[in-house]
Structure 1
Amino acid sequence: MKGYVFHGAGESAWEEVPDPDVKEPTDAVVRVGVVTICGTDLHILKGDVPEVRPGTVLGHEAVGEIVEVGSDVRTVGPGDRVLVSCISACGRCAYCRQGTYGQCRGGGGWILGHLIDGTQAEYVRVPYADLSVHPLPGAMDSADAVLLADIFPTSYEVGVLNGQVRPGDTVVIVGAGPVGLAAISTARLFSPERIIAVDLAPARLEAARQLGADAVAEVGETPEDLVADLTDGLGADVVIEAVGVPESFELCTRMVRPGGHVANVGVHGAPATLHLEDLWIKNVTITTGLVDTYSTPTLLRMTAAGRLPTSRLVTHTFPLGRMQEAYDVFARAADTGALKVVLGGEQHEVVAVGAA
């Protein structure tokens, strides 16, 4: 089969790799139907995630059909169409027993496309299948479902829930890429007074408006001043960092009000300065986190009911074999207008918010 292989910082290729097979009785092998590319994959290609060894197939999001299961798998079987979660969960360790699957100590957590071969291939081995794949309703479109493998549970759990968004809050989301846009959609479920989106790209700010942001600001327009103006100088109740660079994190800490929350979602590849000389007196809560995906079943039900605008984030589709082209389009989002790119499945013209 073929897969998209990481060979070191700046080096990758769509090439022949060995077919996966069942190694453990809890494994499933999935024929990949649809995959997408995550911003974390770009961080890996830059060398920001040193745990990823050269030779690893990338990717941690997919929808596909199970072709083989191990002897201990009970909840799914060959022929089932499933969502492959970005998080694998052993279900037995102390973290899994409390639903903190991202911190699994039994061989799970974020392993696909990180510590083992991932989903950007024709087939993928999924460990701990009973807890790591989700059967899909027959009517759910695969391109909708694949966005629930990572970005929607990440934005919801690590951003909105960790940030404790409440009715009447002012919420600022720094970064209007796919995760930031998903955070806008899921924050709206809690009826905040206003949502403010901050980004560098006008096209992404327009996408943010279309998905429910009440105000937008380009980074060069001193968004701190806009937030202060809209909150009588207090600052935002919740600020969600969805970029992963020092400047964006430090911007978040300047916009939060006393007693507010900064929820960091972005993947950071460089140190950021924590200005405790300003923050120590402000009763600010700063949270970090890797998604646990405990919310995935809920988000699946909401998507099936038409309550989440997942498909509106898809701006480009490609056949699976055009992986390198898809990466190029996704990496040059400022030029291409890309939000989420989807590979595989039925190819069709996509018209979505933010498309160039």
Structure 2
Amino acid sequence: MTMESMLATVYGGINDIHLERRPLPAIQKPTDAVVRVRLSSICTSDLHIRNGAVPRARPGIILGHEFVGEVVAVGAEVRKVRPGDRVSANVETFCGSCFFCRNGFVNNCEQGGWELGCRIDGCQAEYVRVPFADNGLNLLPDSVDDTAALLVGDVLASGYFGAELAEIRPGDSVLVLGAGPVGLCAMSCARLFGPARIIACDPLPERLELARRMGVADVLLNPTTDNVPEAVQALTLGRGADAVIEAAGGHDTFQTAWQAARANACVAVVALYEEDQVLPLPRMYGKNLIFKTGGVDAIHSDRLISLIASGKIDTRPLITHTFPLSRIMDAYSLFERHADGCVKCAIRPDDAQEG
């Protein structure tokens, strides 16, 4: 690295995201790596930070937590990756040795959790420092290109987490609320568990159509025209969905989730809300529902990379737009408005070639 500074996307405080020049990151601890960003993304959680809905986010940090890059420097204790390696990043920073890490709950790591782009500088920049690099970075085979790997550490991991939480069994009917990036990934991962049908629900027809084209949904419901709980009951002999994954985070989608679930079903809530949700327990009484929530525990990155390499998962259709870093504010605007069919924006360095 010969430059003295880099372009970076900074969270200045509520309603303030802007570009500025920042010093290049450097190794701070022997478990760190510094990575040159080849491709990064914008997530809805970045918008939640901007809106003030993530209290733990620190004003002044560089945003971004989902990226693919090339390792350029490692600390003395890093063993898994070396300079020159192409890697995807894990949304979670985790030590691998505390109580929560040993039990697979890396989101609750005593020394980490969601740090990149929230509490420490993230990847919507030209370079990024990754703590606990042996856990936070995953080697990519040549058969998996940057675009195919971009969503591994966050959106795809969140979708897999939701499908795993939902306790899907072969032959089940699975309802996924939200056909945005997390919801589409949840549908892709739900397929791995052998359900009889996957029901996609979203108010944007183009996103439902994408779910159909990707082959990850069998039934499409639009809550602006369909009574979702009634439609799900009609598809399931009056019982309701065997498993529900709530990936929308809308003002009423949590209520739809429990209403559409059959008695004794599991409702997996992986959405990030901007306001409190209510459990109307008297109305739920007797449904004997199981609710599971997260913060994604992104511990399956290597497995997800293998599934991509084998062709069992393909998230590339979700990357609908690509922008250079210098135009990331245009990308934010497009992404937030869902304009021009935007699902996910990829951000490339300004010196990289289109595509």
**TM-score range with shorter-chain normalisation?**
over 0.9
CA distance in 2, matches of 1:231, 1:305: 33
Q: How does 1:175-324 map to 2 (within 5 A)?
A: 175-211=178-214, 212-220=216-224, 221-324=226-329
How do residues 103-118 of structure 1 correspond to structure 2 at under 5 angstroms?
103-105=108-110, 107-118=111-122
Q: What TM-score comes out, normalization by structure 1 length?
A: 0.95
Matched to 1:209, the amino acid is R
Where 1:20 maps in the other structure, the secondary structure is coil
Secondary structure of the residue aligned to 1:315 is strand
Quote how far apart the aligned CAs of 1:67 are.
1.0
Deviations 1:86-115 (A, max 9, x none): 11111111111122111100x211100111
> How far apart in 2 are the matches of 1:201 and 1:291?
25
Mapped pair 1:134 → 2:151: no
Q: Which deviates more, 117-126 or 335-344? A: 335-344
Q: What is aligned with 1:16?
A: 21
The 2-side partners of 1:338 and 1:68 are apart by 35
The SS at the match of 2:151 is: helix
Q: Distance in 1 between matches of 2:93 and 2:353?
A: 27
C-alpha separation in 1, matches of 2:174 and 2:237: 15
Q: Distance in 1 between matches of 2:275 and 2:76?
A: 43
Structure 1 unaligned blocks of 5 or more? 349-356
**Alpha-carbon distance in 2 for matches of 1:347, 1:305:** 26
Shift of 1:245: 2.9
1:169 aligned residue:
172
- Deviation string, structure 1 residues 275-305 (Cα, Å, up to 9, x no partner): 1112232110000011121111111011011
* Deviation (angstroms), 1:324: 0.7
Residue 219 of structure 1 aligns to a residue whose secondary structure is: coil
Q: Structure 2 unaligned runs (5+)?
A: 1-5
Aligned to 2:3: none
1:195-250 Cα shifts (integer Å, max 9, x gaps)? 11111111011112222211111112211111011112111011111112341111
Residue number in structure 2 paired with 1:145 = 149
Task: Supply the distance in 2 between the matched residues of 1:153 and 1:22 (Cα, whole angstroms).
Answer: 27
| Aligned partner of residue 150 in structure 2, secondary structure | helix
Alignment RMSD, CA only?
A: 1.1
Supply the distance in 2 between the matched residues of 1:271 and 1:293 (Cα, whole angstroms): 24
Asked if structure 2 preserves the Cα contact closer than 8 Å seen for 1:164 and 1:238, the reply is: yes
1:124 aligns with 2:131: no
Q: Does 1:28 align with 2:25?
A: no
| Alignment-derived partner of residue 354 in structure 2 | 347
Percent identity between the two aligned chains:
44
The 8 Å contact of residues 245 and 270 in structure 1, kept in 2 or not, is answered as no
Are the equivalent residues in 2 in contact too, given 1:237–1:257 (CA < 8 A)?
A: yes
- Measured after TM superposition, the shift of residue 138 of structure 1 is 2.1
Q: Which runs of 4+ in 1 moved over 6 A?
A: none
Aligned to 1:354: none
For 2:236 and 2:102, locate their aligned partners in 1 and report how far apart those are by CA, in whole Å: 41
**For 2:250 and 2:319, how far apart are their aligned partners in 1?**
24
Q: Structure 1 residue 139: deviation in Å? A: 3.0
